[in-house]
Amino acid sequence: MAERAVRKTPQRRTKAAQRARTLERILDAAEYLFSRHGLNGVALRDVAQRVGVHTSLMHYYFADKQRLFEAVFTRRAGITSSRRLDALDRYEREAGASVTVEGALRAFLDTDLELYIEGGKGWKNFAAFAARVSNSPEGAALMDLHFDPVVLKLIGILKRALPGCADADIFWGYDFVSGALMHVLARTGRIDRLSGGVCQSEDFAAVKDRLAGFMAAGFIALCADRRKAGKSRRRPAVGRRRARGAAAR
Amino acid sequence: MAERAVRKTPQRRTKAAQRARTLERILDAAEYLFSRHGLNGVALRDVAQRVGVHTSLMHYYFADKQRLFEAVFTRRAGITSSRRLDALDRYEREAGASVTVEGALRAFLDTDLELYIEGGKGWKNFAAFAARVSNSPEGAALMDLHFDPVVLKLIGILKRALPGCADADIFWGYDFVSGALMHVLARTGRIDRLSGGVCQSEDFAAVKDRLAGFMAAGFIALCADRRKAGKSRRRPAVGRRRARGAAAR
DNA sequence: ATTATCTATAGATCTATAGATAATGC
DNA sequence: ATTATCTATAGATCTATAGATAATGC
């Protein structure tokens, strides 16, 4: 019935190109499926079917399922990590001594959100994938491996913007920021239903308008409150540090 | 070798009691395992082994794995939900016309955190379980079903505490709060490593000291910022609402 | 007489490997 | 001559059900 010209893989290029193309398609399919069903909710056959190849090809390109999962994470994690490192560097250079909490958070958060806004479907899938990883214990090692450098850079700037603030407050503040960001990236649709359509999970631009400012105010209040409350709190005196020394540069 | 007195199930009580006891043990085991590996990372056999009974007993008590998963969620979700509803009610009654953002958030967040601090292992496992559910699309329906009433109650009070604040800002603010809380509840250990031991995932008391105040400042800044920035933002004029009307009460 | 638990097993699914086939590479 | 893809299949695992056994319930 079909004419002779019909081929399974139209226009095959060089082997290197073919390999690269198939790898990308496998990673895209895996990213999509893992983001929705998690590591164990996806069979290699599901990924293969989505790409339109045989399951055994998954093993040709990746040692096993765990490696495929990690490859999905690694592919984009490095990109967003270095983009944000660059943004933080640039901000530090521009702001000099007058760095602010909001400025640092904008470099960290908005740079990331822009990527998901402008990067197309693949990046949106990665966002949901990463969100899932971030709230699961198995994912912790992946987060550490790829994001520690950016996060520590951010925290360094936050410390300069909040002289005299206890380290614990800054780290906990970061944990709140990270949790909020990751939850937004998950796009579960819950906020859409809760708000009766006033907010939309997919609307990262709306998040970008609000997240950094919101969190910056949180940090500032936290450090102020804690300094005020200082001695009367439940934390034993041992835990309190002389904030003075750390204030300078 | 063993004396005759050794029994598999020591001191069997009434059937109703035995049933209740086994049900609890199954739910505990499932809660623990699901919180760490997710729905698809756990086999019914794993749960049965942990309890020390045969796999087929899982099907005797629960129709299938999905139902077991839901039962784990349902068992405690109702309790924390109504505890927080009560706390919000009480706060509303006490504060009257002078409700504050921080007051409302303390009733909502601290009441929850206290439960995990004082409730023992089971509640801590549930916390991690819920955190996992909250960042996954499959979990959205469970979150909606059990938590919509408390959340809408909280949002009602926040609106009164922030007269003139756009609904979208309040809902997004809630999304940030929820994300931060859930991330904390996941206790992945990442903050421990990032901070070099200064913070500990397990230390919910430290979170309780900080979270509500942090988030309250975020809300207040968000609403103030957005009113200021109002017309120049990317959101088309249609989206802006006359805030006045909603202020009164 | 009812119900909690166990034994046995069917059927489905899933990962992974060995080896065949059909392209590209020089 | 190498490599991308497919066929075939082993072995493991997993869910779910039917039916047996051993307790409690009156």
**Is pLDDT at B242 greater than 80 in this prediction?**
no
User: pLDDT tens for residues A8-52?
Assistant: 444 557 989 999 999 999 999 999 999 999 999 999 999 999 999
Using CB atoms, which residue from A174, A181, A190 is nearest to B143?
Answer: A190
Of A183, A222, A241, which to mutate for an interface test with B (greatest number of B Cβ within 10 Å)? A183
Q: Residue A13: its pLDDT value, please?
A: 76
* Domain definitions of chain A by residue range: 73-231
Q: Is B12 exposed, middle or buried (0-12, 13-18, 19+ CB in 10 A)?
A: exposed
Task: Tell me which CATH code domain A73-231 carries.
Answer: 1.10.357.10
**Is pLDDT at B6 greater than 90 in this prediction?**
no
Contact A217 B222 (CB under 8 A): yes
User: pLDDT tens for residues B131-173?
Assistant: 999 999 989 999 999 999 999 999 999 999 999 999 999 999 9
**pTM (two decimals):** 0.89
DSSP string, A179-227: HHHHHHHH--SHHHHHTTTSS-TT-HHHHHHHHHHHHHHHHHHHHHHHH
Sequence-separated contacts (24+) of A44-51 with Cβ below 8 Å:
A44/A68, A51/A22, A51/A25, A51/A26
Give the bases of strand C that a protein CB approaches within 7 Å: 3-8, 13-19, 23-25
Residue A166: both structure tokens together: 């206890």
Our measurement of CA B57 to C1' C6, in angstroms, reads 9
Please report where in the chains the tokens 């077991």 appear, as a residue: B68
Q: Which residue is nearest to nucleotide D24 (CA to C1')?
A: B15
Share of chain B above pLDDT 90, in %: 82
Q: Residue A7: its pLDDT value, please?
A: 36
Residue environment code for A184-202, b if the CB has 16+ CB neighbours within 10 A, otherwise e: bbbbbebbbbbbeebbebe
**CA triple B154-B159-B160, angle to 5 deg:** 100
- Compute the nearest-CA separation of A137 from chain B (Å): 5
Using CB atoms, which residue from B175, B218, B219 is nearest to A191?
Answer: B175
Using CB atoms, which residue from A136, A187, A209 is nearest to B132?
Answer: A136
Q: Residue A90: its pLDDT value, please?
A: 98
Q: Is A96 exposed, middle or buried (0-12, 13-18, 19+ CB in 10 A)?
A: exposed
Our measurement of CA B15 to C1' D21, in angstroms, reads 17
Helices (H) then strands (E): counts for chain A: 11, 0
State how far the Cα of B70 lies from the Cα of B166, in Å rounded to an integer.
Answer: 35
Chain B residues whose beta carbon lies within 8 Å of the beta carbon of residue A234: 205, 209
User: pLDDT tens for residues A84-117?
Assistant: 999 999 999 999 999 999 999 999 999 999 999 9
User: pLDDT tens for residues A150-181?
Assistant: 999 999 999 999 999 999 999 999 999 999 99
Our measurement of CA A44 to C1' C14, in angstroms, reads 8
Contact B195 A134 (CB under 8 A): no
- Compute the nearest-CA separation of A138 from chain B (Å): 8
Contacts of A57 (CB under 8 A, 6+ apart): A22, A26, A48, A51
Residue B10: both structure tokens together: 């020591």
CB < 8 Å from B in window 28-57 of A: 36-41
Contacts of B17 (CB under 8 A, 6+ apart): none
For residue A147, the chain B residue with the least C-alpha distance is: B194
State how far the Cα of A41 lies from the Cα of A30, in Å rounded to an integer.
Answer: 11
Radius of gyration of chain A (CA): 22
Residue B20: both structure tokens together: 């209740």
B211, A168 contact by CB (below 8 A): no
Please report where in the chains the tokens 């009113």 appear, as a residue: B227
3-class DSSP assignment, residue B135: coil
